Structure 1
């Protein structure tokens, strides 16, 4: 009896539900097969002939029987249209999986973008150099590397260290 109780506890661990991954709404839909291309036209014709029939199952069964009774020559136009839709889908899915950035006429050329990027980086570097230059100037002249406020703070017993400037990493090209 104890073995059965242990196996039930093991079953409860297996009952973990996994959630489905969300589908991308921008992904192209798969193309219909030849049968579904046929069913689009068949539904319209069937509803015109039988306006009182509203059940989807009845229309589906009638369409399936009609499809089975068609010869290969009669199915050929539907198969051709399905192949055409399949080729269009292949192009769309390829573009979806491998997006290419096409520069618009209003956007600057890549040369101008590189120059703008370099200019932005130079501005950032100039800010860093100008911020750090008082500390470097003090070292070059042989003065103490402590600022005046630090010298005055030594009397209090607390020491304040100047923060070193860091370059702005938010600018990306």
Structure 2
């Protein structure tokens, strides 16, 4: 009996201390539930189809600046094929610019954001149907009072 314990202990020691701890530890029920929940949500995400008509989010001021900077950098350095070099140079230039120099890009970003908001609202209305779900503005009167007034107007 003692030799049997020694041999199993020797095997566990050869596997390493981490293997011993893992072998004796049972998975926690909460951890298993979390794992199952995560896999379920990822499956649900995979099933959902993305709406291709959703408007694309607008770029920020830095990315609008980078559009112009890439063009000028490409003209000045036609032999440079490194994307990271363009990004680093653009980032350094953006950091060195004053707020007054950044102002036109900030304005463009604001106007693109406003266009995006309008497009997103239009897309939402399109998804909800042609606005039929919207409630009419509340006049402070009950529906019976409104119907009574309509009947009075039609009979006059």
Partner of 2:108: 81
Q: CA deviation at 1:80?
A: 0.4
Choose the corresponding residue for 1:5, options 25, 38, 41. Answer: 25
Give 1:82-161 correspondences, 5 Å limit: 82-99=109-126, 101=130
* Cα RMSD (Å): 2.7
Deviations 1:39-90 (CA, angstroms, capped at 9, x unpaired): 0000000011111111211111111111000000000000001101001001
SS for the counterpart of 2:54 is coil
Deviation (angstroms), 1:101: 3.6
Determine which structure has the larger helix proportion and give its number: 2
The equivalent position to 2:74 in structure 1, one of 11, 27, 47, is 47
The TM-score, its normalising length taken from structure 1, stands at: 0.51
Consecutive unaligned residues in structure 2, runs of 5 or more:
1-20, 132-156
Q: Which residue does 2:65 correspond to in 1?
A: 38
Pick closer, same or farther for the CA change 1:62–1:22 going to 2, 3 Å: farther
List alignment gaps of at least 5 residues for structure 1.
103-173
* Distance in 2 of aligned mates of 1:101 and 1:2: 59
Q: 1:2 to 1:23 in 2, by over 3 A?
A: closer
Write out the 4+ residue segments of structure 1 that deviate beyond 6 Å after TM superposition. none
Q: How many matched pairs? A: 102
Find the partner of 2:87 among 56, 60, 73.
60
Q: What secondary structure sits across from 1:52 in the alignment?
A: coil
* 1:5–1:101 Cα change, 3 Å: same
Larger RCO (CA under 8 A, 6+ residues apart): 2
Q: Relative to 1, partners in 2 of residues 1:50 and 1:7: Cα closer, same or farther, differing over 3 Å?
A: same
